[in-house]
A = this chain, B = another copy of it.
């Protein structure tokens, strides 16, 4: 006998959780499609060279990498960004630019599982590639806003900043050469606190610069006040600050400015970003951190093509989002596996039970036939366990008389002597009541 275990960091999705996951995917997908985004997919397995590029990063050690039957060095994808860059380089001539895609799929990282992280998890990425405008930045931001609303989240705050202004500020102070290290340090703010960050920055750039950096990222207040301060510290107005002003105007015009906060401490650790950067927090659950992050980059696929592909995009960790929605009770209506259970009164009735179930389904009702001629008590309790709202009885006498009995399982009340049409109507009413 083999033990039916799964690998550490991997897990099964039982129906209740999988229905919930698919429900979230469906809502997001409907929103994305409303914005004119289209889905793509890429292989889970790719050439290691393609996925790791020049390599050397932290990710490399976590990658599931092996030699395939043909002696090729292959790896399982660890994010959806790298495959998208490869995809754009390979297919840019078959597509239209600007290209707006989303991709929801599993990725794999052999991470330390102690922090509650999984080694197989589902990522959801969306990007607009081939344009660098306030309009595209705003489309990503407004789609994030609308998607969380569609998920039933009551309040969401998108904190944004602009990497270009930060870089200009560093250049203005003559410390642009250390920008990568400074970014990594600043990114630790929420984890290690401002005192520790200050200390690290002092070592790196001297006392005065460290203070100035903390001053820059610590700017607080309304959008305009913070923007003014950033502008001052960076050496005046420029394209980058104008971009933020345009975004603010569009937010106001669409009446969604309440959900956005200009926060210069948002820098996103990665070197990759060049323009706006943003993180998303659930108002009811800010402590779990950002549930959707991203930003603007000026060159998506430089590893694979000479064609410059500027873009803006964001990523949602679906597993974390699911857990968060569950916690704040916004994970949507729990969908019962079945609405109407046609009971098995005897084996002779099999065809009749199924014929009635077909009619229920044709009326849009989730209906199944209990397959075994068990005691009715067992069948009723099975129906309730599966969340059915109505049990449909079609005994020998009823089959002769052409009538149907419907039991309202919530009210524990029988409705007998119904015509099939009446029975379907009643079941529809019982299930509709529940749906609202």
Contact = CB atoms under 8 A, between A and B. Distances in A.
A139 interface: yes
A12 B40 contact: yes
Contact of A368 (B10, B36, B306): B36
A137 to B, nearest CB: 9
A133 interface: yes
Interface in A277-314: 301, 303-306
Given A368-B139, A386-B96, A43 B7 contact: yes
A352 interface: yes
A110 interface: yes
A24 interface: no
A354 B136 contact: no
Contacts of A352: 253
Given A15-B101, A38-B15, A110-B68, A371 B6 contact: no
A8 interface: yes
A369 B72 CA distance: 44
Interface stretch (A47-55, A180-188, A193-201, A233-241): A47-55
Interface stretch (A87-95, A159-167, A205-213): A87-95
Contacts of A367: 34-36
A2 B354 contact: no
B366 A98 contact: no
Contact of A74 (B7, B146, B250): B7
B64 A68 contact: yes
Interface string A118-154: 0110000000100101111011001000100000000
A4 B39 contact: no
Which residue among A14, A19, A101, A131 has the maximum number of chain B CB atoms within 10 Å of its CB?
A14
A369 B120 CA distance: 35
Interface in A7-48: 7-8, 10-15, 18-19, 21-22, 29, 33-47
B371 A35 contact: no
A216 B398 CA distance: 41
A350 interface: yes
A142 B12 CA distance: 29
Interface in A247-276: 249-255
A34 B361 CA distance: 6
A21 B39 CA distance: 10
13 contacts: A2-B303, A5-B47, A6-B47, A12-B91, A13-B42, A18-B38, A18-B40, A35-B367, A44-B44, A98-B371, A131-B371, A138-B350, A249-B351
Q: Which 7 A-B pairs have the closest CB atoms?
A: A253-B351, A36-B368, A66-B66, A36-B338, A15-B38, A10-B43, A13-B41
